[in-house]
A and B are shown apart, each in its own frame.
Chain A
Amino acid sequence: MVGITSYGAYIPLHRIERDAFYKEWGGMPIPGERSMATFDEDSVTIAMESAIDCMKGLDPKKVDGLFFATTTSPYKEKLCASIMATAFDMRRDVRTMDVTGTLRVGTTAMAAAFDAVKAGSAKSILVTTGETRMGAPAGDFEQSVGDGGAAVLLGDKGVIASIEGSYSVSDEFSGQWRADGDDFIRSWEDRMVYDQGYSAVLPEAISGLMKKYNLSPGDFAKIVYDAPLDVRRHARVAGGLKFDAAQVQDPMFMNVGNTGAALAMMMLVAALEEAKPGDKILFASYGNGADAFYLQVTPEIKKLKARRGIKHHLESKKTINNYGTYLRWRKILTLERARRPEQAATSIVALWRDRRIILGLWGVKCKVCGTPQYTATPGIMGGGPPIRICVNCQAKDQFEDYCFLGKKAKVFSFTHDNLADSPDPPATVTVVDFDGGGRAAFDMTDRDPDEVKVGMPVEMTFRKLYHDPARGVHNYFWKTRPIR
């Protein structure tokens, strides 16, 4: 049996009321709120957080592949799956792949992982998605899209939902696209786009699947398929195929928005959170064609330890109604420069040399005195990684590896810095003591300044620290955040 063995999801903390866009631009009011990545989040960090949720309690060394699906990769030429594989300290021979180009890359990657496991060339593959698409200011898309991600682990042991079959359709159509250099979604006239695209092709794939496996709508506990930017088209697909409205998984338009290539998988995670053993789920996704799957939930689903998934992340939120913050965090406007020193040039050598330390939070533990210790950054006056001399007993090179990934910590000291340049001022910086030992300084994100206290428990979150525009380098590292 091959199928999903674990799942996880991530929704950024912040939601923006759609009213904030309407207040700014007028036009057609769209109800609800959408998720909004914090300034230090992108598709990679969101996919990483989703993958962390999915991998909770599981051994990354046993994963044979990591596929990252997105249409908003920070790089055109450079792998991002390898960033996450390094952060997880996966094996050197792990198969890594970024899948991009259309909104159904989440399911395309899932199908590829399924085929690999089924063929026996891998036992376990992690498929993770993350999206931060943007609509141009003043358009409907900027209100309709959302940011988020989900991940599934596919394997042949401990399967919670087996993949019993699949069916795909390929369709050449430039109904909606972003060309090289486009920051914002482009679309042809919407009636044509939906009538010839989503509303025609998705039903074709779903009915193709049902025909292939001799299934009918009544066989399924849930039908899970993503919505287009015009969410009204979503329900009509199920109705047209004679599914009951009660069978249809909510596309989260009112509280998240359209998360592009991540949406279908996020909805699947939401469905699995409610699923019972024996449920059949029809799972499909649209984008220049469509992929459809037939899933069978197994009794193993009861054994999966709780994940934050969709449910918890939906509840854990901070809603804003401030279009200026949105413009600033998404870097849509050029703001006045802070009168602060230039950011240092990013050294690819330093990033490469310290990759396990930076991405994987690897520190050391002294074999002589037992002190866990970590440093990733040269202090302002020196002393960068690696640690060669014990900070506590000064023994030289007497260390074993010690990973701080997943460890909780408590705030030992902090400040809210108004002088430092930050897109979310004041810049909150924390010195934290890790449970089990070790201390380090990190930026804190997704916090309300008033809630930060000495002794406050925190967890680590994977974020984009800087983008060096002169060199086109994106820097990923960890920050602290209040426990979500």
Chain B
Amino acid sequence: MAESIKDKVCIVGMGCTKFGELWDRSETDMIVEAAYDAYEDAGIEPKDVQAAWVGVTGGMTGMALTAPLKMQYKPVTHVENACATASDAFRNACYAVAAGVYDIVLALGFEKLKDSGFSGLAMAGGVSSNIVPTTSAPGMFAMLATTYFARYGLGPDEGKRMLAHIPVRSHHNGALNPKAHFQREITMEQVLRAPIIAWPLGLFDCCGVSDGAAAAIVVRAEDAKKFRPDPVYVKSLQMCVGPAEGQMNTKYDYTHVEETYRGGQVAYAEAGIKNPRKEISMAEVHDCFSITEATIMEDLQFSPRGKVKDDLEAGTFTLEGDLPVQPDGGLKCFGHPIGASGLRMLYEMYLQLQGKAGPRQIKNPHLGLTHNMGGQPAGCTVSVLIVGR
């Protein structure tokens, strides 16, 4: 009979590079920094790692990790699950430890987007019939806003003002974070006046595009205290991959993301959470676009359906609010190096649970949730991880 992962494995070390346009740093630089910071944090040597999972999109083999680290003949799996890649690398690493086949493993995610010279994501072209509509990632998510506004009777100005609370809050938090790509405050007026990227989303509704890497060392819960007094326990490791039916099935309402809703439900069940709004202390969610975060708040049941506006206006998701979201600045301020983001989110939860988040520190958090989404509203893969003390 299947068992919950709850309290079976722990994170005992993490590393995270500064995210940004790291023109002078290569993938190797980022991987070595994230891995060695995690080793040092866990108090281990490179040779102590028995197996590893590496997340990057468009990679080929586990050598993406072993070659830069010169890791000596270990089992390494390359994991790819779009924007949820790093979360999935971590998830698989945890399962291997829980299965008892390894004592110490490494999960590392990285991505170098800014070597491409492109605006936005350098999505792989490949070979195809080439008749896909001309959309960028902002375009695909903008349609969520179009329909959300229409369904809930929000005029464009009202809808955009609702969404503007999200980047303003994220930039406030990012300004407190030395590892963030963007470390400055912005105003509502700046958000509302910014050029349109994909109507109705403007520049500040879109997350940054950056380079970065993050890593975690995972061990069994019973061994965790041998490494450190304050390990972070895994409470839930869930993933929901949709059938990509939203652009084929008229039942999809385009005002929510079904994978997020279902991923949240199974994660709450696994962690034994009955009232997520009350029990979750904080969250790092996939705010690739402001509208994405708005609908995630509803899908994860932090806000009632159609009512996220009230919580945004009330400041519920600010550092001082009832349920701080994106305490590190989110994808908005970190940018989104695809293969790294899930572990970057986890890194903030790890710091917060250990009380090491500095000026961003949330008072006495117990449970942190990360939500990582790959794909588009009409079809995606969603990871929901819950960690705690």
Contacts and interface: CB of A to CB of B under 8 A. Distances in A.
B131 A391 contact: no
A427 B120 CA distance: 15
B101 interface: no
B134 interface: yes
A390 to B, nearest CB: 10
Given A417-B139, A418-B198, A440-B248, A345 B126 contact: yes
A344 B127 contact: yes
A426 interface: yes
Contacts, number: 187
B251 interface: yes
A299 to B, nearest CB: 45
B245 interface: yes
A466 B130 contact: yes
A186 to B, nearest CB: 33
Contacts of B140: 380, 415
A468 B195 CA distance: 31
A379 B244 CA distance: 7
A342 interface: yes
A340 B119 contact: yes
Nearest to A411: B146
A422 B198 CA distance: 13
Interface in B199-258: 199-201, 243-245, 247-252, 254
Given A342-B125, A344-B125, A431-B254, A413 B143 contact: yes
Contacts of B375: 379-381
A442 B133 contact: yes
Contacts of B118: 339-341
B128 A350 contact: yes
Contact of B130 (A381, A429, A468): A468
Contact of A443 (B119, B133, B254, B378): B133
Nearest to B241: A381
A427 B123 CA distance: 18
B150 interface: yes
B245 A391 contact: yes
A434 B328 CA distance: 44
B138 A417 contact: yes
Contacts of B133: 377, 427, 429, 441-443
Given A419-B139, A420-B136, A381 B374 contact: yes
B250 A437 contact: yes
Contacts of A413: 143-144, 146-147, 254
B383 interface: no
Contacts of A392: 249, 251
Given A341-B118, A412-B254, A417 B129 contact: no
Interface in A375-401: 375-384, 391-392
A387 B133 CA distance: 19
Given A413-B143, A429-B143, A420 B135 contact: yes
B62 to A, nearest CB: 22
Contacts of A340: 118-120, 136
A343 B139 contact: no
A196 interface: no
Interface string B80-120: 00100000000000000000000000000000000011111
A442 to B, nearest CB: 6
A475 B198 CA distance: 25
B139 A415 contact: yes
Given A340-B136, A441-B133, 13 more contacts: A342-B125, A346-B127, A347-B128, A376-B129, A379-B379, A413-B144, A413-B147, A417-B139, A437-B250, A439-B248, A439-B250, A454-B150, A477-B131
* A-B residue pairs, 7 tightest by C-beta: A344-B125, A417-B139, A415-B142, A350-B129, A419-B136, A416-B199, A413-B143
